[in-house]
């Protein structure tokens, strides 16, 4: 099944160790096993030693962190676009504020505050500052927008667009971020 140019690294959970920590075992090939107290990590990964790129599993695994970073940056750019337009032309957006007349000062203030929040989220996501926390806040914000639009205008193309952005925010929230982030 495996040729001599490949090595399988798999980590298995053995259970609690003597001091209450979880003991893990790493199998590097079918002849050796190492035990350590490194923490719980599961899964198996196939690595091609030659580095020829012929191993499709390795190629896809190496792209996942970059796709995650790209998703995070795209979400940030979408939020920046909406936030910028809410700050530049709040009168256009006041019609989407529920339960308030579009011409009221409170509607304009709420749109401006919402635009600032979106811009802050956008900068944080693009730069990579606490991406999961910011994606969680973006998810809550997008859920609020989807509910508000659905209640006031019913199901429309705007709601479906915002459901797509909500899905992107949820995927960024659920992802592990390794590339282009400023957190440790």
**Alpha carbon distance 168, 157 (integer Å):** 17
Averaged over 84-93, what is the pLDDT?
Answer: 95
128 conformational bin, left if phi > 0, alpha if psi -120 to 50, beta if neither:
left
76 & 157 share domain: yes
Residues listed for the chain: 184
93 & 23 share domain: no
Number of structural domains, the chain? Answer: 2
Greater pLDDT, 173 or 152: 173
| Residue 112 covered by a domain | yes
94 & 141 share domain: yes
- The answer on pLDDT for 9 being more than 50 is no
**Structural domain range at position 72:** 63-174
Strands (E), the chain: 6-16, 22-27, 33-36, 43-48
For the question of whether the overall pTM of this predicted structure is more than 0.75, the answer is no
In percent, the amount of the chain with pLDDT more than 90 equals 46
Q: What does residue 102 show for φ and ψ, rounded to 5 degrees?
A: -60, -20
| Residue 1 covered by a domain | no
In percent, the amount of the chain with pLDDT more than 70 equals 65
| Residue 117 covered by a domain | yes
pLDDT per residue over 36-85, tens digit each?
A: 444 443 444 444 444 444 556 667 777 777 888 899 999 999 999 999 99
Partners of 45 in the β-ladder: 9
Kindly indicate the confidence band of residue 21, based on its pLDDT and cuts at 50, 70 and 90.
very low
What token pair was written down for 83? 């936030």
DSSP per-residue codes, 72-119? HHHHHHHHHHHHHHHHH-HHHHGGGSTTS-TTSHHHHHHHHHHHHHHH
Kindly indicate the confidence band of residue 14, based on its pLDDT and cuts at 50, 70 and 90.
very low
Partners of 12 in the β-ladder: 25
Kindly indicate the confidence band of residue 86, based on its pLDDT and cuts at 50, 70 and 90.
very high
* Mean pLDDT over the full length of the chain: 76
103 & 137 share domain: yes
**Confidence (pLDDT) at 182:** 75
Averaged over 4-27, what is the pLDDT?
Answer: 43
Averaged over 15-33, what is the pLDDT?
Answer: 44
């Amino acid at each position: 099944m495996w040729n001599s140019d490949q090595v399988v690294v798999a980590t298995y959970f053995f259970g609690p160790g003597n001091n209450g920590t979880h003991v893990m075992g790493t199998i590097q090939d079918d002849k050796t096993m190492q035990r350590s107290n490194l923490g719980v990590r599961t899964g198996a990964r196939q690595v091609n030693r030659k580095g020829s790129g012929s191993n499709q599993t390795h190629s896809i695994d190496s792209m996942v962190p970059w796709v995650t970073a790209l998703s995070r940056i795209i979400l940030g750019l979408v939020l920046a676009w909406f936030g910028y337009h809410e700050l530049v032309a709040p009168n256009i957006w006041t019609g989407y504020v529920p339960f308030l007349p579009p011409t009221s000062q409170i509607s304009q203030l709420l749109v401006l505050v919402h635009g600032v929040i979106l811009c802050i989220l956008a900068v944080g996501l693009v730069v990579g500052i606490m991406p999961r926390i910011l994606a969680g806040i973006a998810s809550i914000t997008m859920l609020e927008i989807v509910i508000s639009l659905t209640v006031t205008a019913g199901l429309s193309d705007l709601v479906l667009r915002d459901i797509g952005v909500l899905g992107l925010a949820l995927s960024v929230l659920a992802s592990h971020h390794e590339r282009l982030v400023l957190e440790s």
